[in-house]
């Protein structure tokens, strides 16, 4: 199992290097198919690793107390399978989308290397290992943001890098102080610290670390990189930035709260209250800004700001129901948001439309694409039987049972307001697209995307619904995490 663990982490990067070494003037389709094949193998590898939970491997003993440690557990397996599946879907989509891109080869290479860093994070068994893979993921994903090489893309890439490095520095600060306070930074289910109350210094550091990793998850007030980076990146890159890479910040917060500090040491403290308030502010602000935004991809970026903080709200409530809701939302949001971004990319690619007020009648020309937008949107709103519905149900139950007073009551209210705003900014496009009224005539050259773009959208529509029908296995992972709390 140890060799399989190493292979699962290195395999995408090795494939990316091979793609990079192929001649730039070579067959684009061959490079794309190699990527898809390699990602199919990667998905198989991480699924096989699910049977090896408990496998651990010390890569490097840096000091007597600092280990570069890898470990397979249920949380890491959930994230690794999710990320690998979404990466494969995005790669199939890119076969057509990137067919005429000038820098397609470098995109494919970096795309693969980023997945290696993400999978490394999933299986990190210590905070030092997590931090190394986290920084690699940030640096390797910048070329995906600046892919078009335009001044706007370069500026967005710089902003993304600055925000991400600032957030990561808070994580590095945490390594120093957690080692001092806890004596170790190795992850342990339920947390390392004894359930006797955390000292004031540890609480301050924990809050700073959560805010730092929250930068990648779009937590207010450090969410500014998302609406800047998403519109300039290619659609398949935007999809994984929003649906997957934001989850790297979520995973970091899961590890810090539930595998290092221990939620029992944060419950009822100012840290919990402050984080809950910031999460609810982010949910509301993201939804409101998405409602007001007319650029399609920027609207979806603001939507991500809101929807990922649903997850954070559940994590910060620190009870069983809310944690289950948060984990289901991790999967449901990834499927729904990837579907939406790929639909937006299809419209931009085949219709040349970038604004939501230019899409009247688009459903008659591109029905599969608009259905992907609609089903993905229903998942974000939380309409049964999507995973978004199950997640929000559990989050509301967790909030009302939290004993957090006003925050516990405010939570469901904010979530309902956000759902109404989401319905408004998603379904307005659906209605105008399928029922344009008289006088909406689109050019003849606008047509539906080809099968290489439609099949990934169909898979994501199915995943959006199946994440609700089969939510129980996802909830079981959260239950395992909560059961480990002493």
Is residue 283 in a domain?
Answer: yes
Q: What is the pLDDT of residues 70-116, one digit of tens each?
A: 999 999 999 999 999 999 999 898 888 877 667 777 888 888 999 99
The span from the CA of 486 to the CA of 481, in Å, is: 11
User: What integer pLDDT is reported at residue 200 of this predicted model?
Assistant: 79
User: What integer pLDDT is reported at residue 24 of this predicted model?
Assistant: 60
Is residue 352 in a domain?
Answer: yes
- Work out the average pLDDT over 351-364: 83
User: What integer pLDDT is reported at residue 106 of this predicted model?
Assistant: 80
Residue 360: Cβ within 10 Å count: 21
Total domains, the chain: 1
The span from the CA of 431 to the CA of 294, in Å, is: 16
- Are 230 and 160 within 8 A, CB to CB? no
Residue 162: Cβ within 10 Å count: 12
Residue 303: which of 272, 343, 274 has the closest Cα? 343
Structural domain containing residue 393: 269-486
Kindly tell me if the per-residue pLDDT of 376 is higher than 80: yes
Confidence band of 14 (pLDDT split at 50, 70, 90): very high
- Work out the average pLDDT over 378-385: 93
Confidence band of 486 (pLDDT split at 50, 70, 90): low
User: What integer pLDDT is reported at residue 31 of this predicted model?
Assistant: 78
The span from the CA of 197 to the CA of 445, in Å, is: 65
Is residue 452 in a domain?
Answer: yes
Is residue 83 in a domain?
Answer: no
Is residue 262 in a domain?
Answer: no
**Burial of 74: CB neighbours in 10 Å, binned 0-12, 13-18, 19+:** middle
User: What integer pLDDT is reported at residue 257 of this predicted model?
Assistant: 93
User: What integer pLDDT is reported at residue 61 of this predicted model?
Assistant: 80
* % of residues, the chain, pLDDT over 70: 95
Q: What is the pLDDT of residues 227-261, one digit of tens each?
A: 888 777 777 888 888 888 889 999 999 999 999 99
Would you state the structure tokens that stand for residue 164, as one six-digit string? Answer: 């991400």
Residue 57: Cβ within 10 Å count: 16
- Are 212 and 163 within 8 A, CB to CB? no
**Burial of 23: CB neighbours in 10 Å, binned 0-12, 13-18, 19+:** exposed
Tell me the whole-structure pTM to 2 decimals: 0.91
* % of residues, the chain, pLDDT over 90: 45
- Are 336 and 376 within 8 A, CB to CB? yes
The span from the CA of 19 to the CA of 464, in Å, is: 31
Rounded CA Rg of the chain: 21
Confidence band of 469 (pLDDT split at 50, 70, 90): very high
User: What integer pLDDT is reported at residue 443 of this predicted model?
Assistant: 67
Confidence band of 25 (pLDDT split at 50, 70, 90): low
Give the CA dihedral 154, 157, 159, 163, nearest 10 degrees. -160
User: What integer pLDDT is reported at residue 136 of this predicted model?
Assistant: 92
- Work out the average pLDDT over 285-313: 91
The span from the CA of 108 to the CA of 27, in Å, is: 13
- Work out the average pLDDT over 31-53: 89
Q: What is the pLDDT of residues 161-194, one digit of tens each?
A: 888 888 888 888 888 888 888 888 889 888 887 6
Is residue 476 in a domain?
Answer: yes
**Burial of 196: CB neighbours in 10 Å, binned 0-12, 13-18, 19+:** exposed
Is residue 116 in a domain?
Answer: no
Is residue 38 in a domain?
Answer: no
User: What integer pLDDT is reported at residue 442 of this predicted model?
Assistant: 64
Kindly tell me if the per-residue pLDDT of 68 is higher than 80: yes
Distance of CA 241 to the CA centre of its chain: 7
Window from 21-30, 298-307, 399-408, 471-480 with minimum mean pLDDT: 21-30
Kindly tell me if the per-residue pLDDT of 437 is higher than 80: no
- Are 62 and 108 within 8 A, CB to CB? no
The span from the CA of 107 to the CA of 148, in Å, is: 10
Kindly tell me if the per-residue pLDDT of 195 is higher than 70: no
| pLDDT averaged over every residue in the chain | 87
> Which residues are paired to 295 by β-bridges?
355
Window from 17-31, 66-80, 391-405, 467-481 with minimum mean pLDDT: 17-31
The span from the CA of 47 to the CA of 164, in Å, is: 29
The span from the CA of 216 to the CA of 114, in Å, is: 15
Confidence band of 197 (pLDDT split at 50, 70, 90): low
User: What integer pLDDT is reported at residue 439 of this predicted model?
Assistant: 60
Window from 20-24, 57-61, 399-403, 480-484 with minimum mean pLDDT: 20-24
The span from the CA of 208 to the CA of 262, in Å, is: 16
């Amino acid at each position: 199992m140890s060799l399989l663990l190493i292979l699962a982490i290195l395999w995408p990067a090795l494939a990316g290097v091979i793609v990079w070494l192929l001649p730039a003037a070579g067959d684009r389709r061959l490079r794309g198919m190699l990527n898809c094949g390699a990602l199919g193998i990667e998905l198989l590898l991480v699924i096989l690793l699910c049977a090896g939970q408990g496998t651990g491997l010390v890569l490097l003993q840096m000091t007597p107390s600092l280990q570069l440690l890898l470990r397979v557990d249920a949380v890491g397996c959930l994230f690794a399978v999710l990320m690998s599946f979404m990466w494969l879907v995005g790669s199939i989509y890119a076969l057509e989308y990137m067919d005429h891109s000038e820098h397609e080869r470098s995109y494919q290479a970096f795309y693969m290397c980023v997945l290696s860093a993400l999978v490394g994070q999933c299986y990190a068994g210590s905070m030092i290992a997590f931090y190394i893979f986290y920084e690699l993921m940030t640096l390797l994903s910048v070329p995906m943001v600046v892919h078009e090489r335009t001044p706007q893309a370069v500026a967005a890439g710089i902003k993304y890098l600055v925000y991400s490095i600032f957030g990561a520095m808070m994580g590095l600060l945490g390594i120093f102080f957690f080692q001092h306070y806890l004596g170790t930074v190795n992850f342990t289910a339920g947390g390392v610290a004894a359930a006797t109350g955390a000292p004031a210094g540890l609480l301050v550091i924990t809050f700073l670390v959560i805010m730092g990793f929250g930068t990648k998850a779009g937590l207010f007030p450090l969410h500014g990189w998302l609406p800047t980076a998403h519109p300039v990146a290619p659609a398949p890159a935007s999809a994984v930035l929003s649906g997957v890479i934001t989850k790297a910040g979520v995973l970091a917060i899961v590890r810090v709260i539930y595998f290092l500090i221990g939620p029992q040491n944060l419950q009822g403290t100012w840290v919990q209250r402050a984080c809950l308030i910031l999460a609810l502010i982010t949910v509301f602000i993201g939804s409101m800004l998405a409602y007001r935004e007319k650029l399609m991809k920027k609207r979806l970026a603001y939507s991500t700001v809101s929807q990922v903080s649903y997850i954070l709200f559940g994590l910060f409530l620190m009870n069983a129901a809310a944690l289950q809701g948060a984990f289901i939302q991790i999967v449901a949001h990834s499927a729904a948001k990837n579907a939406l971004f790929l639909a937006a990319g299809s419209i931009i690619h085949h219709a040349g439309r970038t604004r939501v007020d230019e899409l009247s009648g688009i459903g008659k020309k591109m029905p599969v694409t608009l259905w992907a937008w609609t089903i993905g949107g229903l998942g974000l709103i939380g309409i049964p039987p999507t995973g978004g519905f199950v997640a929000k149900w559990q989050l509301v139950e967790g909030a009302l049972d939290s004993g957090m007073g006003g925050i516990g009551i405010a939570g469901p209210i904010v979530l309902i307001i956000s759902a109404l705003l989401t319905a408004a900014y998603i379904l307005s496009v659906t209605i105008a697209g399928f029922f344009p009224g008289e006088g909406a005539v689109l050019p003849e050259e606008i047509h539906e995307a080809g099968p290489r773009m439609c099949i990934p959208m169909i898979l994501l529509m199915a995943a959006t619904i199946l994440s609700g029908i089969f939510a129980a296995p996802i909830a079981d992972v959260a239950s395992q995490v909560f059961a480990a709390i002493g």
